[in-house]
């Protein structure tokens, strides 16, 4: 590979693209071009982190050893916590301590949260007492809470100063704090009393008091607040950051805009995993034992529900014996169409629930709308299915069976897809909780059983 004439940013982008296809080639190149790797890491830690994530923990650890602790810490800040933890396991004690000191406290807490408790305790014991206490305070909070999402690096200024003085103080601390979207105002006891955007601060007259420029009593959350609440507040008030306060309203951190976006992505992926019976917190890095124990109960439930479908089919052996292969060939088509129609309604309703677009007084209208959509779509699909049935079965009666069964199954499935998550919410459960499993049961029962019932009525 020839990259020597590229600037660091261009080199990073080219290597990132190549690493996804030829990781060993990129690893070899970086091993033999240490100076270029150092310049790349300094210029763009994000791209450097993306490259290392493609190479594997052993190679990544070796390349990070070529950098000083500050550059290595900046790169680990940008990596997924699970991968960063695997890399940290390959560092010696001295190197681990040096790198952890350079990392952002919230990122360091995320990383340590992926380690075994004994390893985590040992690392914290080697850190400076102040840094260790700061990281430990973040580890105390659940990862999906405001406290788990927040950073303690907050731009906070005392009330009673002028905007000119405020800007001068921000100049002094801007190297320590990355996010200056909002500047929070506190009293002498660190109670949150206001917030001012950096933009408003810059355009305010220097002699105007900060108390006059700020917005009083800003929206805030407690550290134990669920990330769903954080997301909802950020969306409702169009905020780029949300301050976190303790029980005495003292400012202890903030959830940045970047953390809110990550929370939205995590919440969406969690809902998707939960809907199909996987663990809400399971990732590709989760230990095998934990994943097995999380998935196994739902698979057992799925087996039990499948038995119900089998019993429904077994009750209709008479018509199967009479018309044999044709019915066996057409049955899965009916169930599949119902499953797809139901999944569409399920996805729309779960998304609406996540965005809080379905208050209790709208449940009936949501159900009516989804059933209407399913019924309308079922008509042309049912007509096409009838044509397929008549062709495969060599008779109009088979077409009638297919048409009626498809229309019925798609309509019922649309109702079920909308109704299952709404019912789960009504009884106090997560709307996404294995919704897809229950939907599959219903569409299979109606698809197979309903198809055979219609066949019994029209063909016998």
Let me know: does 123 contact 100? Beta carbons within 8 Å.
yes
| pLDDT band for position 434 (cuts 50, 70, 90) | low
Query: Of 35-49, 60-74, 184-198, where does mean pLDDT reach its minimum?
Result: 35-49
Helices 325-354 and 435-444 sit at what angle, rounded to 10 degrees?
Answer: 150
333-369 exposure pattern, b = at least 16 Cβ within 10 A, e = fewer: bbbebbbebbbbbbbbbbebbbeeebeeeebeebbee
Let me know: does 83 contact 57? Beta carbons within 8 Å.
yes
Residue 281's pLDDT is what? 57
The residues facing 216 across adjacent strands are: 194
Mean pLDDT score across all residues of the chain: 83
Helices 288-314 and 435-444 sit at what angle, rounded to 10 degrees?
Answer: 20
Query: Of 122-136, 280-294, 399-413, where does mean pLDDT reach its minimum?
Result: 280-294
Average pLDDT on 326-331 reads: 79
Residue 320's pLDDT is what? 65
Gap between the Cα atoms of 418 and 372, Å rounded: 11
Gap between the Cα atoms of 376 and 414, Å rounded: 11
CA angle 352, 267, 300 (to 5 degrees): 95
Residue 435 confidence (pLDDT) above 90: no
**Residue whose structure tokens are 């800040």:** 77
Residue 423 confidence (pLDDT) above 70: yes
Q: How far is CA 338 from CA 290, 341, 442, in A?
A: 33, 5, 9
Residue 451's pLDDT is what? 82
| pLDDT band for position 42 (cuts 50, 70, 90) | confident
The residues facing 255 across adjacent strands are: 242
Residue 370 confidence (pLDDT) above 90: yes
Average pLDDT on 170-197 reads: 86
Query: Of 1-5, 233-237, 263-267, 448-452, where does mean pLDDT reach its minimum?
Result: 1-5
| pLDDT band for position 274 (cuts 50, 70, 90) | low
Let me know: does 240 contact 187? Beta carbons within 8 Å.
no
Let me know: does 101 contact 69? Beta carbons within 8 Å.
yes
The more confidently predicted of residues 430 and 89 is: 89
Residue 373's pLDDT is what? 94
Average pLDDT on 418-433 reads: 82
User: Strand pairing of 182-186 and 156-158?
Assistant: parallel
Let me know: does 75 contact 48? Beta carbons within 8 Å.
yes
Residue 279's pLDDT is what? 52
For 184-234, the pLDDT digits (tens) are: 999 989 999 999 988 888 888 888 888 888 999 899 999 999 888 888 888
Residue 7's pLDDT is what? 65
Half-sphere exposure of residue 293: CA atoms within 13 angstroms, side-chain side: 6
For 109-161, the pLDDT digits (tens) are: 888 888 888 888 899 999 888 888 888 888 888 888 899 889 888 889 998 89
CATH number of 288-459: 1.10.357.20
The more confidently predicted of residues 266 and 453 is: 453
Residue 220's pLDDT is what? 94
| pLDDT band for position 433 (cuts 50, 70, 90) | low
Residue 246's pLDDT is what? 93
Residue 316's pLDDT is what? 65
The more confidently predicted of residues 356 and 77 is: 77
CATH of the domain spanning 156-256, picked from 3.90.245.10, 3.40.50.170, 3.10.580.10, 3.40.50.620: 3.10.580.10
Average pLDDT on 436-455 reads: 81
Residue 255 confidence (pLDDT) above 60: yes
Q: How far is CA 316 from CA 113, 143, 272, 334, 453, in A?
A: 55, 51, 35, 16, 7
Q: How far is CA 321 from CA 70, 314, 316, in A?
A: 74, 11, 9
| pLDDT band for position 349 (cuts 50, 70, 90) | confident
Residue 241 confidence (pLDDT) above 60: yes
| Positive or negative: CA dihedral 118, 244, 149, 135 | negative
Gap between the Cα atoms of 378 and 389, Å rounded: 15
Domain locations in the chain as residue ranges: 8-140, 156-256, 288-459
Gap between the Cα atoms of 275 and 272, Å rounded: 5
What is 8-140's CATH topology?
MgtE N-terminal fold (1.25.60)
Gap between the Cα atoms of 315 and 311, Å rounded: 6
Of residues 264, 266, 265, 219, the one with CA closest to residue 244: 219
């Amino acid at each position: 590979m020839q990259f020597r004439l590229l600037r660091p940013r261009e080199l990073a982008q080219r290597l990132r693209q190549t690493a996804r296809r030829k990781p060993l080639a990129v690893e070899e190149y970086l091993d033999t071009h240490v100076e270029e790797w150092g310049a790349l890491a300094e210029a763009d830690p994000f791209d450097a982190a993306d490259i290392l994530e493609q190479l594997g923990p052993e190679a990544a650890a070796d390349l990070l050893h070529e950098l000083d602790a500050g550059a290595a810490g900046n790169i680990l800040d940008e990596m997924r916590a699970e991968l960063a933890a695997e890399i940290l396991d390959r560092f010696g004690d001295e190197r681990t301590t040096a790198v952890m000191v350079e990392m952002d406290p919230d990122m360091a807490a995320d990383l340590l949260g992926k380690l075994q408790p004994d390893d985590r305790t040992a690392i914290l014991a080697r850190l400076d007492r102040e840094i260790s206490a700061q990281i430990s305070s973040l580890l105390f909070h659940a990862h999906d809470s405001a406290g788990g999402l927040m950073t303690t690096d907050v731009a906070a200024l005392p009330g009673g100063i002028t905007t000119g003085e405020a800007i001068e103080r921000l100049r002094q601390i801007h190297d320590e704090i990355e996010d200056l979207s909002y500047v929070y105002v506190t009293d002498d006891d660190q109670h949150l009393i206001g917030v001012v955007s950096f933009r408003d601060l810059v355009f305010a007259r220097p002699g105007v008091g900060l108390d006059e420029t700020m917005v009083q009593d800003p929206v805030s959350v407690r550290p134990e607040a669920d990330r769903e609440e954080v997301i909802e507040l950020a969306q409702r008030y169009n905020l780029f950051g949300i301050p976190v306060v303790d029980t005495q309203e003292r400012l202890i951190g903030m959830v940045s805009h970047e953390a809110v976006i990550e929370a939205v992505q995590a919440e969406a992926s969690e809902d998707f995993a939960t809907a199909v019976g996987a663990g809400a917190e399971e990732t590709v890095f989760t230990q095998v034992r934990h994943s097995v124990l999380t998935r196994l109960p739902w698979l057992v439930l799925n087996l039990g529900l499948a038995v119900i479908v089998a019993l429904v089919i077994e009750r209709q052996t008479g018509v199967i014996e009479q018309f044999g292969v044709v019915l066996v060939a057409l049955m899965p088509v009916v169930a599949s169409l119902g499953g797809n129609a139901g999944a569409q309604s399920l996805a729309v309703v779960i998304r609406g629930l996540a965005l809080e677009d379905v208050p209790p007084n709208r449940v009936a209208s949501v159900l009516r709308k989804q059933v209407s959509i399913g019924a309308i779509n079922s008509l042309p699909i049912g007509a096409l299915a009838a044509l397929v049935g008549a062709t495969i079965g060599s008779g109009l009666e088979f077409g009638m069976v297919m048409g009626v069964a498809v229309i019925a199954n798609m309509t019922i499935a649309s109702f079920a897809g909308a109704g299952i998550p709404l019912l789960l919410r009504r009884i106090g459960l997560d709307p996404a909780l294995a919704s897809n499993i229950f939907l599959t049961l219903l569409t299979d029962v109606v698809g197979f059983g309903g198809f055979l019932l219609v066949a019994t009525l029209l063909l016998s």
